[in-house]
Amino acid sequence: MTTPAATTTGTTPLAVTGRRKRRPGRWLLHAFLITTSLIWLSPILWALYTALRPYGDTAKYGYVSIGGSYGLQNFITAWNRVEIPKFFLNTMIVVVPAVILTLLLASMVAFAVSRYSWRFNLLLLMLFTAGNLLPQQVVITPLYRMYLALPLPRLVSDNGVFYDQYVGIIAIHVAFQLGFCTFVLSNYMKTLPKELNEAAVVDGAGVFRTFWEVILPLCRPPLAALATLQFTWIYNDFFWALVLMFTGDKRPITSALNGLKGQFFTDNNLVAAGSIIVALPTLIVFFVLQKQFIRGLTLGSTKG
Amino acid sequence: MTDSVNRGLNDPAAPTRRRVGSQVEGPGALQAAPKRKRFSLLTRRDKIVLGLMVGIPTSIHLFFIWLPTVASAVLSFTSWNGIGLDKIKFIGLKNYADLFGGVYPPFWPAIQHNVIWLAVFMFIATPLGMFLAVLLDKEIRGTRVYQSAIYLPVVLSLAIVGFIWQLIYSPDEGFINSILGTAGTPQAIDWIGNRNLNLWAILVAASWRHVGYIMVLYLAGLKSVDPGLREAASIDGAGERQTFFQVVFPVLRPINIVVIVITVIESLRAFDLVYITNRGLNGLEILSVLVTNNIIGEASRVGFGSALAVILLVVSVGPIIVYLTRSIKAETE
């Protein structure tokens, strides 16, 4: 263990012991991590590279090649051909209300079960959590029938039912995501001092005001993390809108991809450009809101 | 669990003051508190408000998630084309008999593929994610950059993951075939079209994302380990590996369980990637896609599709219970 440092060259990592093992070990570790990182990034970098080259050039030189021109033409073509703005708008019509409603409803339940001692609160939390863990396909068959049959006022549904309507898609997102958000938020609210409720009462605040003006503002950190996470998840949803939204033109962008596949994305360069455009909002989350996203992911799995 | 009482109860000066039922324990007030009435100290209006705050979200959740789940279970014993409730016919276990008896050809391949999916996640992707987390948890230069690179795929939708990997697998224009010089030739390897290869090709893409997910979760777990434990172990002369397996890993039991549960659930949920690749045909049959094909396909076989869904449900109940028991333990501690 205490062998003094000797030559730094020519020694095999296995032969040395103790402190001297560190250096080659570190190098090996970095080499491994750099390789892994590059492998992990390569599919995305490859997509980016392909997207930047005109189809003519890749046809001439092959896809694995350097040369020809580089530019944003594929992005422009994909954007116009697919009417990307329309699908982005569809997504927003679903994502924005869904995230807001999910967080609002989840924080109300979380408030009630975490701040008041209540007979069924554990049962309720279990129900919500279990519901969130179910594979979506477990509920889809009856849900599909329910969506076709259940009436909705014309004001929110132009065909009078849940099926093929934004309201329907929003509803299932909210119902499904409630579980996770309630779980996370109630864990967080439990950590807030109990005296807050008393102080609110002394000030004459009712239950709702205690929730809205005292507890909720203190929950900004988990709400921000959950909003980021929920935005990404609902944006990325493929399944619900695929099954419950019949009209292809009304589908949010991720679900619309299935129909756009062979129809508009005729070569790999366009597929690549289209993929990057669609991934862009989530990539922004990755680059700008990474911390929030990771906090949201890990809040549910580790306590606190 | 003591009955909750409010100090204001014995305070005659505050008859109109609002009262809370939170855990305020006033010993002097105990005798005045009627047993089993935790809400009794809230005003009527407060009770109604609380009831709504819990009731509305719970009803939504029950209606859209648990009602269909129960309906799936009930409908799996029926034969129904989905039109007219009076057409529902109870046929006992026939749907299950058909499934297990091989009347529906994609069933057993789907089971097999789901098992393979789970095995690859459980024995390759998840351990790799955990391993990377352990490596990146050390204080090394650039750890954040490495972490970001590996977690990048996690933000992408699985539909986009399918598109991106198509650029790698496609026989005419894909990366692999271009490298091999077989692109566009009859010798090109059709990673997606070949039924002996496509499941593995898709699993590589799915693992690409899963590894990052597990790494993020596990890193958070590792960060929560008391550093003193590690120090103590190294003072006792334990090597790095020894410290991890004998000290850190056992402490991480809760997060290990979460990771395993998530791995199982994710493999049961696998859908998007397969559906966008080839709609779950020709070597890519999996349970979730079969359920879906029985509703949005030509023939709407509600009973049959429900039986498939119930199998999915039964398999997922195990990990869900494990997860819940862990949460309750954490709750009551």
- Domain residue ranges of chain A, discontinuous segments joined by +: 89-256
Is B323 a domain residue? Answer: no
Q: Which of B8, B46, B58 is the closest to A206 by Cβ?
A: B46
ipTM (interface predicted TM): 0.85
Inter-chain touch A62–B178, beta carbons under 8 Å = yes
- How far, in whole angstroms, is CA A203 from its chain's centroid? 40
Chain mean position to CA A56? 36
- Count of A-B CB contacts under 8 Å: 330
Same domain as B189, residue B63: no
What the block records as the tokens of A101 is 């409603």
Same domain, B142 and B29: no
| Distance (Å, whole) CA B312 – CA B182 | 40
pLDDT given at position B30 = 40
- By C-alpha distance, the chain A residue nearest B82 is A145
pLDDT for B173: 83
Which pLDDT belongs to residue B333?
A: 62
Residues B71 and B211 in one domain: no
How does residue A2 score in pLDDT terms, banded at 50, 70 and 90? Answer: very low
**Domain identity same for B62 and B132:** no
**Is pTM, for the whole model, over 0.90?**
no
Is B199 within a domain? Answer: yes
Q: Give yes or no: residues B63 and B117 share one domain.
A: no
A168 touches chain B (CB under 8 A): no
Q: What is the pLDDT of residues B5-32, one digit of tens each?
A: 333 333 333 333 344 444 443 343 344 4
Is B22 within 8 Å of A118 when comparing Cβ atoms? no
* CATH code: domain of residue B288: 1.10.3720.10
Scan residues 34-93 of A and list those with Cβ closer than 8 Å to B.
Answer: 34, 36-38, 40-41, 43-44, 46-47, 50, 58, 62-64
Residues B169 and B257 in one domain: yes
Residues B179 and B45 in one domain: no
Let me know if residue B207 belongs to a domain: yes
What's the average model confidence in pLDDT over B243-265? 87
pLDDT digits (tens, 9 = 90+) for A188-229: 998 888 888 888 878 878 888 889 998 999 999 999 999 999
- Residue labelled with tokens 């033409």: A73
**Domains of chain B: total:** 2
> pLDDT (tens digit, 9 = 90+) per residue, B44-81?
888 899 889 999 999 999 999 999 999 999 999 998 88
Distance CA B21, CA B38 (A): 6
Res. A101: pLDDT tops 80: yes
Residue pair A234/A94 in contact (Cβ under 8 Å)? The answer is: yes
Apex A58 CA angle, A55 and A60, nearest 5 = 105
C-beta separation of B85 from B302 below 8 A: no
The verdict on B16 and B114 lying in the same domain is: no
Shared-domain flag, residues B114 and B260: yes
B326 falls within a domain: no
DSSP state for residue A17 in the 8-state scheme? -
What's residue A302's pLDDT? 58
Is B306 contained in some domain? no
The whole domain housing B157 covers: 106-297
Using CA atoms, how far apart are residues B195 and A59, in angstroms rounded to an integer?
28
The C-alpha atoms of residue B319 and residue A231 are separated, in whole angstroms, by: 26
B120-178 per-position pLDDT tens digit? 999 999 999 999 999 998 878 888 899 999 999 999 999 999 999 999 998 888 899 88
Distance CA A56, CA A62 (A): 10
Which residues fall within 8 angstroms of residue A103, CB to CB, at 6 or more apart?
A: A181, A223, A226, A227, A230
Do B119 and B88 lie in one domain? The reply is no
Residues facing A151 on adjacent strands:
A161
CATH 3.50.50.60, domain A89-256, yes or no: no
pLDDT beyond 60 at A19: no
Is pLDDT of B227 > 90?
Answer: no
Q: What are the φ/ψ torsions at residue B90 (nearest 5 degrees)?
A: -80, 125
- Does the beta-carbon distance from B49 to A208 stay under 8 Å? yes
**Per the structure block, which two tokens stand in for B315?**
């398999």
Residue A117 pLDDT exceeds 80: no
Q: Is residue B265 part of a domain?
A: yes
Which residue did the predictor score with more confidence, A57 or A276? A276
Q: Which two tokens stand for residue B299?
A: 């023939």
Q: Are residues B139 and B185 in the same domain?
A: yes
For residues B45 and B190, membership in a common domain is answered with no
If DSSP codes are grouped into helix, strand and coil, which group holds residue A158?
coil
Contact between A254 and B268 using a beta-carbon 8 Å cutoff: no
Q: How far apart are CA A51 and CA A39, in angstroms?
A: 19
Q: B284-307 burial string, b = 16+ CB within 10 Å, else e?
A: bbbbbbbbbbbbeeeebbbbbbbb
Q: Is the CB of B53 less than 8 angstroms away from the CB of A207?
A: yes
CA distances from B172 to A264, B182, B282 (A): 18, 8, 20
User: A188 to chain B: which residues are within 8 Å by CB?
Assistant: none
List, for residues B88-101, the tens digit of each pLDDT value.
888 989 989 988 98
